[in-house]
Amino acid sequence: MQQFPCPFCGLRDEREFHFAAEAGKIRPDTTQPVSDADWAAYLHNRKNPKGETREVWIHTPCAEVFILKRDTLSMAVLGCEPLRKDIP
Ligand SMILES: [Zn+2]
């Protein structure tokens, strides 16, 4: 069983975490018309990188979202940081 770090709770069992999104993905500006193709691409297309990646995860017990850095080849966890910069 792997352990993931939550920036708020520390190391916890991986079963307490859920993947939310790839980090840095920009939501289409919905104040302007968005084509079905652009919206579908935003919702469904992922880079799925091989190696080091930054992803948004949620820790279910504390309900906080954060950035998890990990290596998709070795499954090594490389670090974590709060998603919001105003949280110490
Ligand atoms: Zn937590």
pTM score, whole prediction: 0.82
Q: Are 84 and 41 in contact (CB under 8 A)?
A: no
Give the tokens for residue 20.
């939310």
CA of 28 to the centre of ligand 1 (A): 29
Token pair listed for 58: 């949620």
Distance 70 CA to ligand 1 centre (A): 17
The yes-or-no verdict on residue 85 having pLDDT over 80 is no
Cβ-contact 42, 33 below 8 angstroms: no
Q: How does pLDDT run across 20-76, given as a tens digit for each residue?
A: 999 988 899 999 999 999 999 999 999 889 999 999 999 999 999 999 999 999 999
Q: Is the C-alpha dihedral spanning 74, 21, 9, 61 positive or negative?
A: negative
Domains and CATH numbers, the chain: 3-82 (3.30.2270.10)
C-alpha 83 to ligand 1 mean position (Å): 12
How much distance in Å is there from the Cα of 63 to the middle of ligand 1?
7
Read off the pLDDT band of 88 (50, 70, 90): low
Q: What is the pLDDT of residue 57?
A: 96
